[in-house]
C-alpha cells in the first residue's frame, strides 16, 4: 500500500509540474487559463497529502519535495515578489 501511494504521489507531482510549466510558458493558449493553474496547484497539494500517507518511502520524499517546489514557484514566490515590487514612478 505504501509503495502504491508513493507511485501515486509521484504521478500527481509530475502532472502538477507539467501543468504548471504549460500554464507558465503558454500565454494566450488553452493552457494559460486559470483553471489549469488551479488544477496544477491542486495536484501538487494532493501529491503532498498522498506522500505524507506513504511514510518512510523514498518516492514519497521526492514527490513531497517536488510538490512543495511547485507550490513555492506557483504561489509563494509570485506572492512575495508582488510584495517587493515597486513600480518606477
Q: Does residue 69 sit within a domain?
A: yes
Q: Does residue 68 sit within a domain?
A: yes
For residue 13, the enclosing domain spans: 2-84
Per-residue confidence (pLDDT) for residue 26, from 0 to 100? 66
pLDDT 10s digits, 47-60: 888 888 887 778 88
Q: Does residue 53 sit within a domain?
A: yes
Q: Does residue 34 sit within a domain?
A: yes
Number of separate domains in the chain: 1
Residue 81: how many other CB atoms lie within 10 Å: 9
Q: Over the range 9-22, which residues count as b (16 or more CB within 10 Å of their CB) and which as e? A: bbebbebbbebbeb
Q: Does residue 89 sit within a domain?
A: no
Please check the confidence at residue 86 and state whether its pLDDT lies above 80. no
Q: Say which residue, 29 or 61, is predicted with more confidence.
A: 61
Rounded to an integer, the average pLDDT of 63-89 is 81
Q: List helix spans (H) across the chain.
A: 2-25, 34-53, 58-71, 77-84
Q: Does residue 66 sit within a domain?
A: yes
Mean pLDDT, rounded, of the chain: 81
Total-model pTM: 0.75
Amino acid at each position: 500500500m505504501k509503495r502504491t501511494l508513493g507511485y501515486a504521489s509521484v504521478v500527481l507531482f509530475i502532472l502538477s509540474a507539467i501543468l504548471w510549466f504549460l500554464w507558465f510558458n503558454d500565454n494566450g493558449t488553452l493552457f494559460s487559463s486559470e483553471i489549469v493553474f488551479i488544477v496544477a496547484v491542486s495536484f501538487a497539494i494532493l501529491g503532498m497529502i498522498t506522500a505524507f500517507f506513504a511514510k518512510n518511502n523514498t518516492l514519497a520524499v521526492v514527490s513531497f519535495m517536488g510538490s512543495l517546489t511547485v507550490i513555492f514557484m506557483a504561489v509563494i514566490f509570485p506572492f512575495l515578489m508582488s510584495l517587493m515590487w515597486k513600480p518606477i514612478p
